[in-house]
Amino acid sequence: MSAPNKNFDPVMPAALDPANLQVAVDAALVAIAAAADLAALKQARIDHAGDRSPLALANREIAALPPSAKAASGKAVGAARGQVNQALKAREADLKQAERERILTAERVDVTMLNDREPIGARHPIHTISEHIADAFVSIGYGVVEGPELESEWFNFDALNIDRDHPARTMQDTFFVGTPDSGAVLRTHTSPLQIRTMLNQQPPVYVVCPGRVYRTDELDATHTPVFHQVEGLAVDKGLSMVDLKSTLDWFASTMFGEGIVTRLRPSYFPFTEPSAEVDLECFACRGESVGDPDRSCRTCSSEGWIEWGGCGMVNPRVLQSCGIDPDVYTGFAFGMGIERTLMFRHGITDMRDLVEGDVRFTSAFGMDS
């Protein structure tokens, strides 16, 4: 530090010499650039921007200058200090960024390591496809109806025009409850839900009824005594077989793809008249495998059609048993096997897979089917 400048002939202190200021700045920039980490940068800050740094000392000399010289020198020192501070700030940001990156790199893990710590649930495809079907019909204004599996005989048979000695009654291999005369059975189809609905509700009736049903078949690759159906019922003024066919075609394309249609074959069910078997156009080959030995189709056995279910116009006797006037209302009904639908839709070859509850089977389906 020089002595106060008392004479009027101003003497420029060496520290304020522009060349020296430049030397100090250059030295600072070299030191800042050389700082390899935040600790080194801190030392560089002390050395070159601290209270005892050359630039700080130069700054003090300004106070001793005559007023006429202060402005120019102040500007020069300020510029020099600004240059150094800016370099410090930039370097600090760079070093902090590098430090973060070092830590993040060090924290790298092998994300491919198996992570099956917590169990993952799944739903049974019988139930998810039933909901899928119900949702489709809900979207066109149908209600969903479920009901008891242990059913009064009248609902399961008599009201559906299947009287006691009707061959269909023995055809269906019924589980009787208690004694054969108890008046109760395990429902052999979801059709008693038609009766329950129509007893409760005057037309218009539009419902879809998924549910579990029972027949005395032994379990094998294609049969199970406990299985599932979905039933549809519509009763309204002016419904005809055209509505039935149209609804089935819509159902087929909703479930199996745009343009997939159904085919009706005359058949017999006591509760519908006229009655038909419903065939589904093969969604896998769309009939292109028929008669083409090079394109055999496993889904439809190269038949082009898959047996899907039964349907028909609600027999007027059934409407009458529910107190609905068949001269005013007509209706249609249809029913499909859920297991059967799953089997051809998903290529399931053994019914037992659907029945046994092996978690490996269910887990593959996740939350949908």
Partner 1 sequence: MRAPLSWIKEYAALPEGVSARELADRLIAIGLEVETVEELGSAITGPLLVGRVTQIEELTEFKKPIRFCQVDLGDQTRGIICGATNFAEGDLIVAALPGSVLPGGFEISARKTYGHVSDGMICSGRELGINDEYDGILVLADGEVGQDARPILGLDDAVLDIAVTPDRGYCLSIRGIAREAALAYGVEFTDPASLVSQLPADGPQHPIDLRYGADRFTARALSGIDPGAASPDYMVRRLNQCGMRPVSLAVDITNYVMLELGQPLHAFDADKVQGAIQIRRPDSSEQLETLDHVKRILDPDDVVIADGSGAVALAGVMGGLTTEIDENSTNVVLEAAHFGAAQVAGTSRRHKLSSEASKRFERGVDSDLARIASDRAAALFAELAGARVDGLVDIDHRQPVTAISLPMDLPTRIVGVDIPADRARDILTRIGCTIDGDRVDVPSWRPDLTAPIDLVEEVARVVGYETIPSRGPAMGTGVGLSTQDRLLRQVRRRPAELGLVEVLSYPFLGASDLDALGLPDDDPRRTAVALANPLNDQQPLMRTTLLPGLLAIARRNVSRGSESLHLYEYGQVFRDLAEVSAPVAAAGSRPPEPVIQEMLSALPRQPEHLGLVLCGDWSQAGWWGAARPVDWSDAIRLAQAIANAVGVTLEVEPDVHAPWHPGRCARLSADGVVVGHAGELHPDVVSAYGLPARSAAAELDLSVVLGQAAPVVPAPEVSTFPVAKEDVALVVDEVTSAESLRRALADGGGELLESVRLFDVYSGPQVPEGKKSLAFALRMRATDRTLTDEDIATVRGAALASAGQLGAELRG
Which residues in the 197-216 window bind partner 1 by CB under 8 A?
199, 204, 206-207, 212, 216
Q: In the range 96-115, which residues lie near partner 1 by CB under 8 A?
A: 113-115
Distance CA 90, CA 93 (A): 5
Pick between residue 61 and residue 277 the one whose CB is nearest to partner 1.
277
Q: How far apart are CA 231 and CA 145, in angstroms?
A: 9
348 binds partner 1 (CB under 8 A): no
Tell me: does residue 287 bind partner 1 (CB under 8 A). Answer: no
- Rounded to whole angstroms, the Cα distance separating 311 from 140 reads 19
The correct pick among 9, 107, 118, 258 for binding partner 1 (CB under 8 A) is: 118
Question: Is residue 317 at the binding interface for partner 1, with CB under 8 A as the rule?
Answer: yes
CB of 106 to partner 1, least distance (A): 19
Among 95, 148, 260, 348, binds partner 1 (CB under 8 A): 148
β-partners of residue 263 are 279
Cβ closer to partner 1: 74 or 274?
274
| Position among 22, 86, 320, 349 found at the interface with partner 1 (CB under 8 A) | 320
Would strands 226-236 and 205-214 be described as parallel, antiparallel, or unpaired? antiparallel
How many Cα atoms sit within 13 Å of 310 on the Cβ side? 15
| Residue 130 binds to partner 1 (criterion: CB under 8 A) | no
Under rule CB under 8 A, residue 50 binds partner 1: no
- What is the Cα–Cα distance from 19 to 192, expressed in whole angstroms? 106
Q: Does 191 bind partner 1 (CB under 8 A)?
A: no
CA distance 307 to 280: 6
> Of the two residues 17 and 273, which places its CB atom closer to partner 1 in the complex?
273
Pick from 28, 126, 280, 297: which binds partner 1 (CB under 8 A)?
A: 126
Q: How far is the CB of 330 from partner 1 (least distance, A)?
A: 7
Tell which one of 35, 264, 285, 306 touches partner 1 (CB under 8 A): 264
Contact between 203 and 236 under an 8 Å Cβ cutoff? The reply is yes
Dihedrals phi, psi of 336, to nearest 5 degrees: -130, 150
What is the secondary structure of 228-253 as a DSSP string? EEEEEEEEETT--HHHHHHHHHHHHH
